[in-house]
């Protein structure tokens, strides 16, 4: 079945970097765009970034533009999010989600990985 599994979360200090990843299985990964969405503790969902299926285009939310980089390795069925210059407000559960471009929706979602930025 289609499955997305995030990893790489942890506790880091403000100003530091961290990379989270999402391992995909059960579908042709190279045929789908992929999103990152985050959720701060007790808050709502916030879209973070999208990468096209072939990696040719990338889009970012305003709050992470210039600090975060989305990438993918289609040979390994892996999606990545490199997060630099982390701030306390980046503390969140980070979800990856497949982008169904035909109807422009997010499905499925991974279970998420928690990133905590704290001194």
Partner 1 sequence: QTVVTQEPSFSVSPGGTVTLTCGLSSGSVSTNYYPSWYQQTPGQAPRTLIYNTKIRSSGVPDRFSGSILGNKAALTITGAQTDDESDYYCVLSMGSNWVFGGGTKLTVL
DSSP of 40-83, one letter per residue? -TTS-EEEEEEE-TTSS-EEE-TTTTTTEEEEEETTTTEEEEEE
Which residue of 11, 25, 88, 107 would you call a contact of partner 1, by CB under 8 A?
107
User: What is the bridge-based pairing of β-strands 10-12 and 113-117?
Assistant: parallel
Number of residues engaging partner 1 in binding (CB under 8 A): 23
Q: How far is CA 25 from the centre of its chain?
A: 16
Q: Tell me how far apart the alpha carbons of residues 13 and 62 are, in angstroms, rounded to a whole number.
A: 22
Which residue of 18, 21, 112, 117 would you call a contact of partner 1, by CB under 8 A?
112
70 binds partner 1 (CB under 8 A): no
45 binds partner 1 (CB under 8 A): yes
Which stretch in 22-30, 66-74, 82-90, 106-114 sits in contact with partner 1 by CB under 8 A? 106-114
50 binds partner 1 (CB under 8 A): yes
32 binds partner 1 (CB under 8 A): no
Give the HSE-up count for residue 85: Cα atoms under 13 Å, Cβ half-sphere.
7
Per DSSP, the three-state class of 30 is helix
Which stretch in 17-25, 56-64, 70-78, 81-89 sits in contact with partner 1 by CB under 8 A? 56-64
Chain positions contacting partner 1, by CB under 8 A: 35, 37, 44-47, 50, 59-62, 95, 100, 103-112
């Amino acid at each position: 079945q289609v499955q997305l599994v995030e990893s790489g979360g942890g506790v880091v200090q403000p100003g530091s970097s961290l990379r989270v990843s999402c391992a995909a299985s059960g579908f042709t990964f190279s045929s789908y765009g992929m999103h990152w969405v985050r959720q701060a503790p007790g808050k709502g969902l916030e879209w973070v970034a999208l990468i096209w299926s072939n990696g040719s285009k990338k889009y970012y939310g305003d709050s992470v533009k210039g600090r975060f980089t989305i990438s993918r390795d289609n040979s390994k069925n892996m999606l990545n999010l490199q997060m630099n210059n982390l701030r306390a407000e980046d503390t969140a559960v980070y979800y990856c989600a497949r982008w169904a471009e035909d109807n422009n929706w997010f499905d499925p979602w991974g279970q998420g990985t928690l990133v905590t930025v704290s001194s």
